[in-house]
């Protein structure tokens, strides 16, 4: 039977992490198996074919399309500079000739006698892929890229905006439930990954951007503040390509919500270390969550990993987070798993479980509305 609960987000102080770094089109791979790479190193590069600019010579020179090829001053494959004549009419008795000059630089890609259209391909754009994570190359994918492996601390967020950035971890809040406000963000946090606690305010995000921080991570965020920062209302959760000068990650959800204690403690324990952060989120088939990756030092690698829950089964005693109102954001442990579906207040019938909070209070929740806290 399909699992009726949501697998949780990964938060672990130690994991062997692999990332695949590939080019969008074939190119050169600059590293070999066994190489040690730094997050900012370029591991593969290529030249992306330049932009295409169509020029309708027949229209510009008022010629029948079929006459265009013989009026061309440039042939297919010829390079071209801005302002250079591309085609010239024959004129009348060799006089009154009219030129068509190119408005772009590039190479003539095709000349059509059917439409009288000439395609000019612009200069190729270099595309580079960085390692993103400091680690070792364990596989080279010929002409495409490589796979990098590293021992890291790994934190998955629930939602983010902005792409890949690197920086030093720096704490701004003293506890997991402290709101991240603008006054907590200092100029010395420039280029850093700022760790907050509970909800981050609109002013805090703007302040982080203004001082030149690489990323800001906190428990929650108001949707209205997200809309104001983005400049538009986000319709679907497919992000990562925003160019806002700051990557923003929330670990728990929207609204007034504190960062899970475990996540906060892990990030706080890595203060001062370099991390790779990506806000890209895709909540569709092939789900992608934002991430904070902190490579381990040799000394840390020697340490025992913290205990974790290796299985993803819903069992008595498993810590879970409630992910929908009326108890949204609360964390407790599974205290009962009734087999029979129950009728909810909404009138729907669904399989439920009982969650016990630290206070001793218990609540009944649909299984679909909890997620496992994964280690």
| Interaction site with another protein (CB under 8 A) | 1-3, 6, 24-26, 49, 51-54, 65, 109-110, 112, 114-115, 117, 119, 121, 158-159, 222-224, 226, 233-237, 253-255, 281, 283-286, 323-326, 328, 344-350, 365-366, 368-369, 371
Q: How far is the CB of 222 from another protein (least distance, A)?
A: 6
What is the C-alpha to C-alpha distance for residues 263 and 195, in angstroms, rounded to an integer?
Answer: 10
Q: How far is the CB of 288 from another protein (least distance, A)?
A: 11
Residue with smaller CB distance to another protein, 20 or 301: 20
Residue with smaller CB distance to another protein, 22 or 182: 22
User: Which long-range CB contacts under 8 A does 178-185 form with residues at least 24 apart?
Assistant: 180/204, 180/216, 180/218, 182/206, 182/207, 185/211, 185/213, 185/216
Residue with smaller CB distance to another protein, 69 or 273: 69
Helix or strand or coil: residue 227? helix
Q: How far is the CB of 266 from another protein (least distance, A)?
A: 21
| β-strand partners of 146 | 21, 140
How many helices and strands in the chain, by DSSP H and E?
6, 28
Q: How far is the CB of 236 from another protein (least distance, A)?
A: 6
Residue with smaller CB distance to another protein, 119 or 268: 119
Q: How far is the CB of 72 from another protein (least distance, A)?
A: 16
- Among all chains, which residue has been given the structure tokens 């959800």? 253
How many beta carbons lie within 10 A of that of residue 179, not counting itself? 18
Q: How far is the CB of 299 from another protein (least distance, A)?
A: 33
Contact 108, 76 (CB under 8 A): yes
Q: How far is the CB of 108 from another protein (least distance, A)?
A: 11
Residue with smaller CB distance to another protein, 95 or 236: 236
Residue with smaller CB distance to another protein, 270 or 321: 321
What is the C-alpha to C-alpha distance for residues 154 and 143, in angstroms, rounded to an integer?
Answer: 29
Residue with smaller CB distance to another protein, 116 or 197: 116
Q: Which residues contact 295 (CB under 8 A, 6 or more apart)?
A: 39, 133, 134, 135, 150, 151, 152, 273, 274, 275
């Amino acid at each position: 039977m399909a699992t009726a609960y949501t697998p949780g987000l990964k938060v672990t102080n130690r994991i062997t992490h692999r990332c695949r770094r590939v080019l969008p089109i074939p190119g050169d791979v600059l590293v070999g198996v066994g190489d040690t790479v730094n997050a900012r190193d370029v591991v593969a590069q290529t030249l992306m074919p330049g932009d295409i600019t169509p020029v309708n010579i027949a229209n510009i020179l008022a010629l029948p399309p079929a006459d265009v090829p013989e009026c061309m001053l440039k042939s297919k494959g010829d390079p071209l500079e801005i302002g250079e004549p591309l085609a010239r009419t024959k004129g009348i008795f060799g006089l009154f000739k009219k030129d068509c000059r190119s408005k772009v630089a590039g190479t003539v890609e095709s000349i059509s006698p059917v439409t009288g259209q000439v395609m000019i391909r612009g200069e190729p754009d270099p595309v580079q892929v960085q390692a993103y994570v400091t680690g070792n190359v364990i596989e080279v994918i010929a002409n495409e890229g490589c796979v990098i492996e590293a021992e890291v601390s790994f934190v998955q967020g629930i939602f983010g905006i902005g792409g890949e950035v690197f920086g030093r971890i720096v704490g701004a809040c003293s506890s997991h439930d402290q709101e991240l406000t603008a006054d907590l963000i200092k100029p010395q946090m420039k280029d850093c990954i700022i760790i907050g606690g509970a909800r981050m305010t609109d002013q805090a995000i703007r302040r982080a951007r203004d001082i030149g921080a690489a990323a800001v991570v906190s428990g929650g965020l108001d949707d209205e503040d997200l809309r104001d920062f983005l400049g538009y209302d986000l319709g679907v959760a497919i992000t990562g390509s925003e160019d806002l000068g700051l990557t923003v990650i929330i670990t728990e959800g929207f609204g007034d919500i504190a960062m899970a204690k475990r996540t906060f403690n892990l990030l706080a324990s890595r203060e001062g270390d370099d991390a790779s952060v990506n806000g890209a989120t895709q909540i569709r088939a092939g789900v992608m969550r934002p991430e904070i990756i902190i490579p381990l030092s040799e000394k840390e690698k020697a340490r025992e990993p913290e205990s974790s829950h290796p299985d993803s089964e819903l069992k008595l005693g498993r810590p879970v987070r409630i992910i929908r109102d009326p108890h949204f954001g609360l964390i407790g442990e599974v205290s009962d798993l009734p087999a029979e579906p129950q009728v909810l207040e909404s009138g729907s019938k669904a399989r439920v479980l009982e969650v016990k909070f630290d206070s001793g209070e218990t609540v009944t929740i649909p299984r679909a509305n909890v997620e496992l806290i994964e280690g």
